[in-house]
Amino acid sequence: MNENREMNDELEIDLGELFKVLKKNILMIIVISLLCAAVGLVSSMFLISKKYSSEATIYITPRVTEQGLIDYNNLQTNSRMVNNYMEILKGETILAKVADQVGMESYEEVLDTITVTNPTDTELISVSAETTDPELSQQIVSLTISIFTEDMMDILNLNNITIINDAKVNEEPVSPSKTKFTVLGFGVGLVISCGYVFISYLFDKRLRTREEAENFLGVPVLATVPLKK
């Protein structure tokens, strides 16, 4: 029990010393953290390529009966077909034509830019594209939906696809986030500066107190000489 108490006391002393060292170097820690935050902000503004997004939504329209009612069976069929439509939208047949019209080398290059999603419990399909050119993003989305609609009409004779939201040219970049990179830079600077202080403290073999000298030498200290100020 005495040994555990001594270990706890030593740990408390060490933590206290570390806190003092951190407090002593607080100005350096703040300066380094702010400098890293500034680097993150500048990087997000000038060094990292901006990405622009465009999005459109299509709706698989259910069939309406002669009485003006929605055909429930057809609605269930549309729900099951949504996943098939999503795979077709991301397929080579559609995207190869898009790549050819926008001047990209392959359909894989187009595939890397687009995202196709289906909100839960709906027959809506959202198609978005993210590139470094806002007009290119809009073109990719518009052409993908246009070619998909035409192919569905020609191949499967489907005419129940309605465009809810057209793709627009968005001049506001979606990434990189200035706030995110600034906070990330500040965090990195904080970790680096605190890590430097901790490592410097752990590898500092100097005897700073009377107790440390007695523990290290194994003999009592008879006298101390104060530092001249």
- Rounded alpha-carbon distances, angstroms, from residue 19 to 12, 14, 166, 201, 203: 10, 9, 58, 11, 16
State the average pLDDT over residues 162-189: 94
Strand order across the beta sheet in which 124-131 lies: 114-117, 124-131, 52-60, 161-165
Q: Where are the domains of the chain?
A: 2-47+177-217, 52-165
Beta strand 124-131 pairing with 52-60: antiparallel
Q: Tell me, what's the pLDDT at 69? A: 45
- Give the residue with greater pLDDT, 81 vs 138: 138
pLDDT at residue 5 above 50?
Answer: no
> What CATH number does the domain located at 52-165 have?
3.30.70
- Give the residue with greater pLDDT, 77 vs 200: 200
